[in-house]
Chains A and B, each alone.
Chain A
Amino acid sequence: MDRLSETFQALADPTRRAILARLTLGETSVNELAEPFAMSLPAVSKHLKVLERAGLISRSRDAQYRPCKLEAQTLESVDEWLGEYRRFWEARFDRLDTYLKKLQRKPARRGKAK
């Protein structure tokens, strides 16, 4: 699976999205992350592993409580990817706009000929 698919799969779960939202506020320990969720620590750890594999977070190796940190770059690549699609469709709309102008410049072609 490519990185982007992995990222999307990681983002497909509401709990994981909530964890990411929490991490946008700064580095957080696993205990702190588990608090708002009615979930065991192992269950939270499992989600964190998915997020880590997808490159969305990183976990410090040195500190004993291994705080989690958001890896903003991965989300940025998602954002860029969305942007590409947007530009693609904007360009397509430009072509439709041009084509509509062309269509309307041709009189007597739409059944209203005198």
Chain B
Amino acid sequence: MTARTITITRLFDAPRALVFECWLKPEHLVQWYSAGDGWTTPYAESDGRTGGRFKIGFAGPDGKVAFDFTGTYDEVTPLERIALTADDGRPMHAEFSDQDGKTLVTFTLTLEPTHSEEQQRHGWSNILANLGKYLDSKNK
């Protein structure tokens, strides 16, 4: 783990081509990309190729709050990898592979704008690990 990133993996019981398509095509994105808890995704635009743009709409449960999630696809390698940077500067990427007849997705999200490579290398996950030890020792 590097600075301010979260990695989530999930095995989906579906062919890789279909899973990959779900990440790029507007008609699929509106079906699952919503924020949950009553939020909806009324529309999505997605030019699913390297350099293409995307815009995904979010609408709040009360119908008042709404915003667009926009950004650029930095890399689209069919069936393998999608890397994008949101317009707020946060990069994220998803990797797709076959595993036991299913599709493994490894998704990495960076939570804050990336300022330098150096920052990414020096994660503070070690600090958190040490913190855990520190708290454990305190609780003894």
Contacts and interface: CB of A to CB of B under 8 A. Distances in A.
Contacts of B33: 92
Interface stretch (B14-22, B47-55, B76-84): B14-22
B99 interface: no
Interface stretch (A17-25, A37-45, A60-68): A17-25
A100 B19 contact: yes
Interface of A is mostly: helix
B128 A75 contact: yes
Given A17-B122, A72-B135, A89 B22 contact: no
Nearest to B1: A82
Interface of B: 3-4, 6, 8, 10, 12-14, 18-19, 22, 28, 31-36, 105, 107, 109, 111-112, 115, 118-119, 122, 124, 126-128, 130-131, 133-135
Interface of A: 8, 11-12, 14, 17, 20-21, 24-25, 70, 72, 75-76, 78-79, 81-82, 85-86, 88-93, 95-101, 103-104
